[in-house]
Amino acid sequence: MSKKLYLETHGCQMNVHDSEKAAFALSDLGYEVTTDPTEADLIMLNTCMVREKAARKVYHRIDELKHSFRRVSEKRKGLPIFGVMGCVAQAETDRIFERSQDVRLVLGTQAIVKLPTLVEQIEQGFPRAIDIRLTKDAEFFELDAGVRQTEHVAYITITEGCNKFCSFCIVPFTRGRERSRPADKIVAEAQALAAQGFKEIQLLGQNVNSYGLSGRYHGSFAGEQESDNGVTFARLLERVATESGIPRIKYTTSYPRDFDAEVVRVMDTYDNLCEWIHLPVQSGSNRILRAMRRGYTRESYLEKIAHIKNARKDMSITGDIIVGFPGETDDDFNETLSLAAEVGYDGLYIFKYSPRPHTPAATYTDSVPEEVKTERFLKLQELQDRIQKQRYARYLGRTVEVLVEGMSARSAADCYGHTRCSKIVNFKADKQLVGQLVNVRVTEVKPHSLYGEIVL
Ligand code: SAH
Ligand code: F3S
């Protein structure tokens, strides 16, 4: 009888993709994925700690899962193996064992290759297993193209880790130094996905623009960059666009300082590079950007935005902003509001600052009271809602290409999918179209989604 794996994923696309890799790695040991935790032999929590009190949430979740087990306990002999992976595992290390007696496996962010060995040790009777080494030469886990958990959009890792050390961010500590995966491997994976019928891929990295550049000269905005392996991000995009055979290619996340004009030129050149750029600014105030150690100014960010707006394609720009960073005054926040208004984002993720362990900002006085953070959050959200309404309104009457991803929960006749510019569209269509690209004429615009009808 096969063994059952229940895998719960929190956080970013990178984690979703790591979970796919973990499931694939464990299939060799006979583990099949289940969506019912009460029948699992192994429960892995893939965790995020970029914000929130993530570690506390993990222990809480383990307790909840244990309780659901107790309720069906007659059916079972004992508790399953509990494992923690992802950023909390990397940051909390063996303290996890101390805080929860039930956890028997701790897997760092670079240790997915080791997962089967650790699980085998536990199956053989070892009480606990852990691997949390971070090394700059960590191997990339090579995922077989055939074993995706995401059905219609396939993720491809291009870089792992981050060298930027923004003062608020825990990622460099939980994901280690930046490494770029060889371009040939990336292109080959994209080709295999195309052969399987995938219509969309997303290239993933914490900072995709520094692909191939670790430690090298980053060039000026307009100038050519110099890379370690001869392939910059712009060249990689070009290769994937011309060699993969995939009709829709997206990527995330861009880093404003490293984002260059050449990327926009390449995006303009190839039709299968989708018109969506996620370019997180974090703040509109130069003083705060300096304290965040972002390495760019409001002016240089806006210069890049202007360049994107001058592109041949109608690009959709989204971003992230943190409100309430230590020392942020009303004036600083007003700069953020005016920047958001000037850019006119198609989507904005707003976060209240929260101190993260290991980060320099955690040693600054968290000077903005919680109520003020909330106030600023709501004010920016309100502005963004107004902007977004206008941005979405321009799609009314337009025909957009949609990848049909599934049926919406409310009505069997309603399908949903994403546009090339990453907006959700709802429309009536037959189930058979799921997985296909269709053209939809937009007939109605809501604050966060579009409605329309298929045109042939
Ligand atoms: N480059 C990464 C960024 C990772 S963190 C990427 O691929 O998305 C994602 C977002 O979380 C950041 O852009 C930032 O806006 C937010 N964030 C990170 N650390 C934070 C903190 N300490 N408090 C609040 N928000 C934070
Ligand atoms: Fe974090 Fe800054 Fe890297 S936000 S992921 S340290 S680019």
CB atoms < 10 A from the CB of 153, how many?
Answer: 19
- The answer to whether residues 228 and 214 touch, using CB atoms and an 8 Å cutoff, is yes
Q: Which one of 171, 209, 214, 254 would you pick to mutate in the ligand 2 pocket, going by the greatest count of ligand atoms within 8 A of its CB?
A: 171
Query: What CATH class has 399-454?
Result: mainly beta
Q: Which one of 320, 348, 368 would you pick to mutate in the ligand 1 pocket, going by the greatest count of ligand atoms within 8 A of its CB?
A: 320
Q: How many helices (H) and strands (E) does the chain have?
A: 13, 19
Three-state SS sequence of the chain:
CCEEEEEEECCCHHHHHHHHHHHHHHHCCCEEECCCHHHCCEEEEEECCCCCCHHHHHHHHHHHHHHHHHHCHHHCCCCCEEEEEEHHHHHHCCHHHHHCCCEEEEECCCCHHHHHHHHHHHHCCCCCEEECCCCCCCCCCCCCCCCCCCCCEEEEECEECCCCCCCCCCHHHHHCCCEECCHHHHHHHHHHHHHCCCCEEEEECCCHHHCCCCCCCCCCCCCCCCCCCCCCHHHHHHHHHHHCCCCEEEEECCCCCCCCHHHHHHHHHCCCECCEEECCCECCCHHHHHHCCCCCCHHHHHHHHHHHHCCCCCCEEEEEEEECCCCCCHHHHHHHHHHHHHHCCCEEEEEECCCCCCCHHHHCCCCCCHHHHHHHHHHHHHHHHHHHHHHHHCCCCCEEEEEEEEECCCCCCEEEEEECCCCEEEEECCHHHCCCEEEEEEEEECCCEEEEEEEC
CA of 256 to the centre of ligand 1 (A): 14
Give the pLDDT confidence score for residue 215 in this predicted structure. 52
Classified as helix, coil or strand, 433 is helix
- Pair of tokens at residue 3: 């063994």
For ligand 2, say whether the CB of 359 is within 6 Å of any of its atoms: no
For ligand 2, say whether the CB of 162 is within 6 Å of any of its atoms: yes
Give the pLDDT confidence score for residue 77 in this predicted structure. 64
**Quick one: which ligand is closest to 172's CA?**
2
- Pair of tokens at residue 30: 């006979």
Classified as helix, coil or strand, 27 is helix
- The answer to whether residues 281 and 301 touch, using CB atoms and an 8 Å cutoff, is yes
Task: Please report the atom of ligand 2 found closest to the CA of residue 163.
Answer: 3
For ligand 2, say whether the CB of 283 is within 6 Å of any of its atoms: no
pLDDT, one tens digit per residue, over 242-292 is 999 999 999 999 999 999 999 999 999 999 999 999 999 999 999 999 999
Q: Which one of 163, 169, 208 would you pick to mutate in the ligand 2 pocket, going by the greatest count of ligand atoms within 8 A of its CB?
A: 169
Give the pLDDT confidence score for residue 413 in this predicted structure. 65
For ligand 2, say whether the CB of 207 is within 6 Å of any of its atoms: yes
Domain boundaries, the chain: 3-131, 134-274, 399-454
For ligand 2, say whether the CB of 169 is within 6 Å of any of its atoms: yes
The binding-site residues of ligand 1, defined as CB within 6 angstroms of any ligand atom, are 12, 50-51, 168-169, 171, 206-207, 253, 280, 282, 320, 322, 351, 353-354, 356
Query: Is 134-274 a domain of CATH 3.30.750.210?
Result: yes
For ligand 2, say whether the CB of 351 is within 6 Å of any of its atoms: no
For ligand 2, say whether the CB of 165 is within 6 Å of any of its atoms: yes
Task: Please report the atom of ligand 1 found closest to the CA of residue 361.
Answer: 22
CA of 280 to the centre of ligand 1 (A): 9
Q: Which one of 349, 351, 356 would you pick to mutate in the ligand 1 pocket, going by the greatest count of ligand atoms within 8 A of its CB?
A: 351
Nearest-CA residue for ligand 1 atom 9 is 50
Pairing status of strand 399-407 against strand 316-323: unpaired
Give the pLDDT confidence score for residue 219 in this predicted structure. 60
- Pair of tokens at residue 45: 């929590």
CA of 205 to the centre of ligand 2 (A): 10
- Give, for 404, the enclosing helix (H) or strand (E): strand 399-407
**Quick one: which ligand is closest to 293's CA?**
2
Q: How far does Cα 9 stand from its chain's mean position?
A: 12
For ligand 2, say whether the CB of 43 is within 6 Å of any of its atoms: no
Residues 6+ apart with CB under 8 A from 317: 277, 278, 279, 305, 308, 343, 344, 345, 346
**Per-10-residue mean pLDDT, the chain, length 456:** 91 92 93 93 94 82 86 70 95 92 94 94 94 84 74 92 95 93 94 94 96 68 65 96 97 96 97 98 98 98 98 97 98 98 98 94 93 98 97 96 87 85 93 92 94 92
CA of 353 to the centre of ligand 1 (A): 9
Residues 6+ apart with CB under 8 A from 310: none
Which whole-number Å values give the CA distances from 327 to 165, 236, 322, 352, in the listed order?
A: 19, 39, 13, 13
For ligand 2, say whether the CB of 255 is within 6 Å of any of its atoms: yes
Assigned CATH topology for domain 3-131 = Rossmann fold (3.40.50)
Give the pLDDT confidence score for residue 79 in this predicted structure. 83
